[in-house]
Each structure stands twice: as structure tokens, then as C-alpha cells.
Amino acid sequence: MCLNGSSEVASLFTLQGKKGTNQDAMIVWENFGSRTDTIFCGVFDGHGPFGHLVAKRVRDSLPLKVSAHWKVNLNSEDLQREISINTMGGMSPGETAFVSAGEEPRAFAELEEIEKQVQMLKESFLKAFKVMDRELRMQKKIDCFCSGTTAVALVKQGHRVVIGNVGDSRAVLGTRDKDGSLIAVQLTVDLKPNIPAEAERIRRCRGRVFALKDEPEVARVWLPNNNSPGLAMARAFGDFCLKNFGLISVPDLSCLSLSEKDEFIVLATDGIWDVLSNKEVVEIVASAPARSSASRALVERAVRAWRHKYPTSKVDDCAAVCLFLDMSNSSAASSAKSHEQLASVDDRSEMISEKDLVISRPIESDSEITTEESNEDAAKLEEMQSESETEWSALEGVSRGNTLVDLPGFVPEREDKRKNAGKRSHM
């Protein structure tokens, strides 16, 4: 499907806002990587003059890159296992008996294997995001200098979910507590410049972080000697005018082990989260008359909330993906499917950012933050950030401003290139 739609396990919907071209894009890919128990979901929120093109490009390319790197990792693991088996086959009976007697319990070995699979998937996310951003820089069809996109994407394999997040789109889990009450658990952090570790990295790389007087609640990223572009996020694909000044595209990774109490995961752009709380979103999805209409009900409620809460503001694009888990029936459902479905959406509808629920469920998190390979200062700061034990939820504050304030008319690196080109032409 290439439009708003649904399948047995997910629904997608987006509406264009009042700010111009819809810059949101979404995708749901079932039987991901040719595995019947695996699904890929993603939401992408573009910004800048060509943000809609960047978002679509990432939507179309990122899943393929994750799949390709994952397959390489799996093949490498299979090769190592085969070598190990062949080595064991060359042992004498006495040596083999000794190894067998010292083997770990099967349950522990299976758990170890699952953890290896998760780690390989995390590595695949890191590599895919890095290659994706490099591809955007090298290609010539889309000007990504002052345009970019957020990305929150997940791969669910069986009972495990790995999430990669860049920017301020968000993933939230709808689950049940001990009393059976529906609760919302935020699975990602909105990566904005007001997060201390993000702001420190940006300042170390000579970028500036401050809010404008007329919107003091919205921290933005600025060039060292120019009051532009004023990007309202600390990580993004594209936006190469800021990549040497602290903006990165490395995803914040988290891993979740699902239980039977977990009902669904919502991925959405900030047009949803800016006017609806996590709790409201979970309740809207849970009360939808049918799963197929859950995303539509959520987006339409967000549009009404925009008009009610901020009648003088332009409604932002809104996009949402609802992935239903059905953990108790997941095995039967996955085995019943024999064909691969690819559903993608690239329309959009609204935005802001209201953060209210802290992550209360145990979640493994990797904040392996690296900048462009050429930026040594950013690499040093990455080490500092990964070692930091300070926990920052980034769940408070509301921002209705545009993602970008102004486009830079002067950028140090580009100006140097122009001067050098001029000198060569006069030689």
C-alpha cells in the first residue's frame, strides 16, 4: 500500500497540515528480511525546503539498509558457527566428551543466542543510519544542505523490539499494569537541543544553542557566526550545514522485551505529541472502533486538539503508525502469513511537543553518539556522553514553532570553497 491504510497487524494514517507540503512519511513492512515473525515500522518528519523529499528518500532506503546489514551480520555469525562445528569435528572423542560435559544449560544458551541476535540488529541500525546519511550527502538530486528529516524506526522480531531514534518523533507503548489498567510507556527520548548532553556536544563542536525571545521554550541549534538555521532538534538526517557543528544522525537505540500485557506501539511525528499526551494517545488507540481505523482516529483527534488549543497557530502535519502486538497469538499469526506486504505513506498533518510520561519500564539503551568522522571534537564528546550516567527524560515543554527559523546565507566551509575556486580560476 502506498496510501493511508492498514493490515492485520498495523494501521497507518497521515494528514497534511496548514504549513504547506506534507513532509511526513511512514512505512510498515511485514515479513521484514524474509522472516515471518519480523516487521519493520518507521515514521519520518521532514523539515526545510526539501524536507518532504528527504523524508521519502529515507523511508524508501533506510529499511533496505537495515535489512542488508542485518543479513551480513547473520551470515557472519553463521560462518563463525560453522567453523566452530568443524573445529569440534576434528577433536578426539575424549576432547569432545570434555567439551560436552562443560556445556552450559540449553536455556541459557538460547538466551545468549537471542541477545546476540538483538546486538546484531542494533549494530545493523547503527550502520544503516550512518550509510543513509552519507548517501544523502553524496547524492545530487535532493539539496539536503538545509533540509532533513527525523526518523523513529523499529524492528520487531518475535518478542523483541529494537528501536532507533533520530530527532523528535516518538514511540510509545500501550500496555497494562498489575491492576489491568491501560498505561502509556514512552520508549524514546525526544532528542532536542535542550537536553544537557546534546547541548554540550553541539557547543563543543562550535555550534550554538539558544531560544529566541518570542519562543523561550524552544531551544534551537545555530551556526557559530550566523543566526541560522535555528534547527529545533539535536539529531537528524541531512541538514549538512550543521553537521560540522554538533548535529549528528547517530540513532539513540533501545531494546524492549515484550510481554502478554503489551498491546500496541504507536510511532508518530511531533504533530501528534505536541497536542496530545502519551496517555491520551494510548487511550484513543485503545478505544478505536477497529484496529484498521486506529491511526486515523488518532490523527483526526490531534487535528481537533490543534484547533482547540492553538486556534491562532497553523496546524502541523500529523502521521501515525499503530503496531498491534498480540503477544499471546503472535506465533500463530506469523505462521499464517506467507506473503510480504509493504505499506508506506507520505502524507502529513500536525505538530508541537508535550512530554509528560517518563520511561518507567526497564529498557536497554545505547547512546553511542558519534559525529562525522572528520569531526574529532564531536568524537571526543561522544565518549563523554556515553560515559555519563545522568538520565534526562526530555519530556517536558511545549514548542509550537517551526523546525527551522532561517536558511543560512553564509556558511564558513562553503565560503572557503568559493574563495579557493575563485583563486584557481584566476591562476
Out of 7-16, 112-121, 162-171, 410-419, pick the least confident: 410-419
Residue 379 has pLDDT above 70, yes or no: no
The residue whose grid cell reads 518532504 is 52
pLDDT range class, residue 346, cuts 50, 70, 90 = very low
Query: Residue 398 above 70 pLDDT?
Result: no
* C-alpha to C-alpha distances, 209 to 12, 197, 221, 256, nearest whole angstrom: 35, 12, 5, 32
What is the structure's pLDDT at 412? 52
**Structural domains in the chain plus CATH codes:** 5-415 (3.60.40.10)
Residue 310's pLDDT is what? 92
Range in 212-216, 314-318, 337-341 the model is least confident about: 337-341
Euclidean distance between CA atoms 127 and 123, whole angstroms: 6
Average pLDDT of the chain, as a whole number: 79
* Residue 229 · residue 411 · CB < 8 Å: no
pLDDT reading at 90 higher than 80: no
Assess whether the previous peptide bond of 229 is cis (omega < 30° from 0). Answer: yes
Q: What is the mean pLDDT of residues 38-46?
A: 96
Residue 420: what pLDDT? 59
Q: What is the pLDDT of residue 118?
A: 87
Mean pLDDT of 119-138: 96
Model-wide pTM > 0.85: no
| Arithmetic mean of pLDDT, 164-172 | 97
Looking at residue 112, its pLDDT comes to 73
pLDDT band, very low/low/confident/very high, at 244 (cuts 50, 70, 90): very high
- pLDDT reading at 2 higher than 50: no
How large is the average pLDDT for residues 358-379?
41
- Which has more pLDDT, 372 or 5? 5
